[in-house]
Amino acid sequence: MEDKAVAVILVGGPTEGTTFRPLSFNTQKPLFPIAGHPMIHHQISACKTIPNLVQIFLIGLYEERDFALYVSSISNELKVPVRYLKEDKPHGSAGGLYHFRDLIMEDGLSHIILLNFDVCCSFPLANMLDAHRRYGGMGTLLVIKVSAESANLFGELVADSDTKELLHYTEKPETFVSDLINCGIYVFTPEIFSAIQGVLANQEDRGSLRRLSNYESLHSATRALPADFVRLDQDILSPLAGKKQLYTYETLDFWEQIKTPGMSLKCSGLYLALFQQNAPHLLASGDGTKNATIVGDVYIHPSAKVHSTAKIGPNVSISANVRIGPGVRLVNCIILDDVEIQENALVTHAIIGWKSSVGRWSRVQAINAVYSISSNLADGDYDSKLGVTILGESVNVEDEVVVINCIVLPNKVLNVSMQEEIIL
């Protein structure tokens, strides 16, 4: 009998989107387009590589209607059932999994692949599953080496160099422990539910003395900890480390956590580069004769209209119904639905929000932007470190206006040049 597997993607809730403003005013953060597709699309597509996958669950605190259209669309597209499960309250990363255990296990599963939605990587899920079977433990974590300076922003761990057993795990330690960090992607056997049940049984004795991790305090609607609130990192991984139940699988590819709009710009470039290997048909091409000149990795939605004299790339994602005029230059940017970029405008190191427009000879850009797809910034604040300009929905940049290193909230008209401002 073949082993069956399900994938579970934790999508958080509305409080998660606060660090993603002004873009999360318009769409739930998990559905924000990166490399031309919703953020969670990349995880869901990667799950298709899992052998004998029977279903994909999305667990979060958003309303079901927020995901209904996307769930229906992606289920039809990938021919795999995708279902959204709404938590009634925050249960923690492990508690949410346990809360829906009966639904998750209804097909008699052998393995559960658990992912956080805001992780960007190459998702070596099939290889992880193979390694997990070899190890013979209850769970396997995807891990990566990062710089010692940034490691304490994540869960640091120590693993046996030969057996790959997880020996020690600590969440965001104050002192350096290891340059190996937890990537937020796991393979578990159904025994994970027994482990969570054991934590719940002892929960009352522990009372309210537990401390929320930074990650889960962001994802929780309240800092009060319900009786059925269980964290995967501190309540499961830390206590079970060194007990021959948990193992690690190290990725040598890229890994990032998408905390901010600026970080989504870097991750868009990483996914576009990955398309070269797994979806080259999604990448645009052109030499400036019949089509625009394309430089590097570029995604252009089929409904977008791009003038043949425009020059696009590298790392550009153009969404539906966008209009790009003559002589436009686009570099390292995300252009969202229904945007118009008029003739001879320049957009670089920027995200242009839905229904916005950039006038003739205008420039929307960030300066002092040191951009590299190959660098692993796993320490996060891409907005300030690399520089990015963000226009919210329906922002009109008039002709011959220069906008540099600014964040502009929705429904604004910019008729004078500005630099390093937040336009409320």
The confidence score (pLDDT) of residue 207 equals: 53
Q: What's the CA gap between 282 and 272, in Å, rounded?
A: 9
Residue 93 CB partners (closer than 8 Å, separation 6+): 10, 116, 216, 219, 230, 231, 232, 233
The confidence score (pLDDT) of residue 377 equals: 40
The confidence score (pLDDT) of residue 409 equals: 93
Q: What is the DSSP string of 140-154?
A: EEEEEE--HHHHTTS
Beta strands across the sheet bearing 340-341: 305-306, 323-324, 340-341, 357-358, 396-397, 413-414
* Pair 141, 186: CB distance under 8 Å: yes
Grade residue 205 by pLDDT with cuts at 50, 70 and 90.
low
pLDDT digits (tens, 9 = 90+) for 57-114: 999 999 999 999 999 999 999 888 999 999 988 888 898 999 999 999 887 888 999 9
Rg for the chain, CA atoms, rounded = 22
Tokens at 77, concatenated: 């597209």
The confidence score (pLDDT) of residue 302 equals: 96
Q: What's the CA gap between 296 and 283, in Å, rounded?
A: 9
The confidence score (pLDDT) of residue 10 equals: 95
Nearest to 399 by CA among 349, 369, 357: 357
Beta bridge partners of 311: 293, 329
pLDDT above 90 covers a percentage of the chain that reads 61
Q: What's the CA gap between 296 and 11, in Å, rounded?
A: 31
Residue 170 backbone phi and psi in degrees, to 5: -140, 135
**At 157, is the secondary structure helix, strand, or coil?**
strand
Note every long-range contact of 100-104, with CB atoms under 8 Å and residues 24 or more positions apart, other chains counting.
100/57, 100/59, 101/193, 103/57, 104/6, 104/8, 104/57
Helix axes 64-78, 39-47, angle to 10 degrees: 40
Grade residue 188 by pLDDT with cuts at 50, 70 and 90.
very high
CA contacts within 13 A on the Cβ side of 14: 10
The confidence score (pLDDT) of residue 17 equals: 57
Q: Which of 84-88, 117-121, 171-175, 414-418 has the lowest mean pLDDT?
A: 171-175
pLDDT digits (tens, 9 = 90+) for 319-375: 999 999 999 999 999 999 999 999 999 999 999 999 999 999 999 999 865 444 444
Q: What is the pTM for the complete model shown? A: 0.88
Q: What is the DSSP string of 296-346?
A: SSEEE-TT-EE-TT-EE-SSEEE-TT-EE-TT-EEEEEEE-TT-EE-TT-E
pLDDT digits (tens, 9 = 90+) for 34-53: 999 999 999 999 999 998 99
Tokens at 127, concatenated: 């290889």
**Helix/strand/coil (H/E/C) assignment for every residue in 98-113:** HHCHHHHCCCCCCEEE
Beta bridge partners of 156: 170, 181
The confidence score (pLDDT) of residue 383 equals: 41
The confidence score (pLDDT) of residue 418 equals: 93
Domains of the chain (ranges, CATH numbers): 5-204+227-257 (3.90.550.10), 272-419 (2.160.10.10)
Q: What's the CA gap between 329 and 309, in Å, rounded?
A: 9
The confidence score (pLDDT) of residue 225 equals: 64
Q: What average pLDDT score do residues 372-395 get?
A: 61
* Pair 199, 230: CB distance under 8 Å: yes
For 315-342, b where at least 16 C-beta lie within 10 A, e where not — what string? Answer: bbbbbeebbbbebbbbbbbbbbbbbbbb
Q: What's the CA gap between 154 and 96, in Å, rounded?
A: 21
